[in-house]
Amino acid sequence: MSEDIKKTEDETEEVVETEAPEVVEEVDEVATLQAKITELSEQVNVLKNEYAKAYADTENTRKRLQADFDSRTKFMMKNFALELLPVLDSCERALAQATTDEAYRKGVEMIYGQLQNALSKEGITEIDALNQPFDGNWHQALMTEAKEDVEPGIVIEVLQKGYRIKDRLLRAAMVKVSE
C-alpha cells in the first residue's frame, strides 16, 4: 500500500507540476486583459471628453452664428425702415392737404396703409407721444411752451412722428413739451 500512496503522491505532483504553468499563464493572461480593459476604458473616457468639448464648441458656434444672422437681419431691416420713414411722412403730409381729387386722395391713402402694414409686420410701430410725459429715450424736445391747463413735462405737440423697431428706438419723436 505504501507503494500505492507513493504512486498517488507522484501522480499528484506531476498533475500539480503540469497544471502550475497553465495557471500561471492564465493569471498572466487575466492580468494582461485587465490592463488592456483599463487602458481601453481610459481611452473611452478621453474620447468622451473630446466629443463633449467638440459638441459644446459646435453648439456655441451655431448659437453665435444664429445671433449674428438675427442681428444682421434686424440691422438690414432698420436701415431699410429708416429709408421708408420719409416716404411715410410725405404720405401723411399729402393726406393732410385739402384736395378735390378723390381718386388722388384714395391712391395716397392706399399707399400709406400698405406702407404702415408692411412696417408693422416687421415690428416697426409708431411711438405714442402726444399727451404723454416727455421721455428722453423716445422723444426729442425741439421746443417748449407754457400752457396753463397742462402740467409741465407733457408732450403737447408732435412735430415728427417717432418709430420703434420691436423694443428699440428707430427714430425719436420730435416734440413740443409744456413748461
Break the chain into its structural domains and give their ranges: 126-178
What is the bridge-based pairing of β-strands 139-145 and 173-178? parallel
* Residue given cell 399727451 in the structure block: 131
What digits encode the pLDDT tens for the residues 142-162?
999 998 899 999 999 999 999
Looking at domain 126-178, its CATH superfamily turns out to be: Head domain of nucleotide exchange factor GrpE (2.30.22.10)
Burial class (CB in 10 A: 0-12, 13-18, 19+), 22: exposed
What digits encode the pLDDT tens for the residues 38-73?
999 999 999 999 999 999 999 999 999 999 998 887
Contact between 158 and 131 (Cβ < 8 Å): no
The pLDDT of residue 5 is above 70: no
- pLDDT grade for 20, boundaries at 50, 70 and 90: low
| Choice between 24 and 110, residue whose per-residue pLDDT is larger | 110
